[in-house]
Amino acid sequence: MKYEKNERSYPLASDSLDALLGEGEEVLWRGKPKKSAYILNKVLYMLPVVLLWLAIDVTLLCVVYILDTPTLVRVFVTCFIAVHLLPFWMWLSGVITASRRYKNMDYALTNRRVIIRSGLIGIDFESVGYKDIVNVNLRVGLIDRMLKVGDLYFENAQRGRKNVFFDIENPYEAYKVAQRVVSDIQTDIVFPNAYRPESNPGYGTKYRNGGGDGQQ
């Protein structure tokens, strides 16, 4: 199967995705999150739970200070609530750092693997060979649909986890490319072209080598 090489130019810094490409490795699809969608999803993530958590803790803190409580009790409760607000601090940190994380994110499908570039201060790279991918899924939520983005999930058999392209634009087109690339390359790994017969009856399949009419 032939693919068009992605000709878009990118800087060749040592921490760029391009520097990770091996000899003969071609980029078939490349993208990154839509900035507005990525930041908005960081803001909305767990927002109702965070606001409820914050309201309860702030209410408790106000009651302690309104009542005539000893100073030691006020100090203890204040310290306790500061720690108890950990979910809020984590959410706030995610919102504040979202823009910086976005700048470091880059996604690519090559003729050999899936590559994800991410990070906050340093740069992290994740790569998954197509032979380790068991499934490709697309998720488009209500907010995603409004912003015309989606999340592309690659299920990794080796690590028991999912690698994700978050908030990518034109998600359905990217999904089609990912499905086609994964399917074609996995087929080439399992059943190389040199060993394919002229016709493949399979289990009622209509495929024939050379694109001829299939069997019924």
159 within some domain:
yes
Query: Tokens 């000893």 appear where?
Result: 70
- What tens digit of pLDDT does each residue of 125-134 get? 888 888 888 8
- What tens digit of pLDDT does each residue of 146-175 get? 889 999 999 887 666 788 999 999 889 889
Domain ends where: 82, 98, 114? 98
- Along the chain (216 residues), what's the average pLDDT of each consecutive run of 10 residues? 43 65 85 92 91 93 88 91 93 92 90 88 86 88 90 81 89 88 76 62 51 45
β-pair type (124-129, 161-169): unpaired
Q: Are 128 and 113 in contact (CB under 8 A)?
A: yes
3-state secondary structure of 169: strand
Q: Show the tokens assigned to 46.
A: 């767990």
85 with 180, same domain: the answer is no
214 within some domain:
no
Domain extent at residue 167 = 26-34+104-191
Q: Give the Cα separation of 182 and 129 in Å (integer).
A: 9
β-pair type (161-169, 27-31): unpaired
79 with 145, same domain: the answer is no
70 with 143, same domain: the answer is no
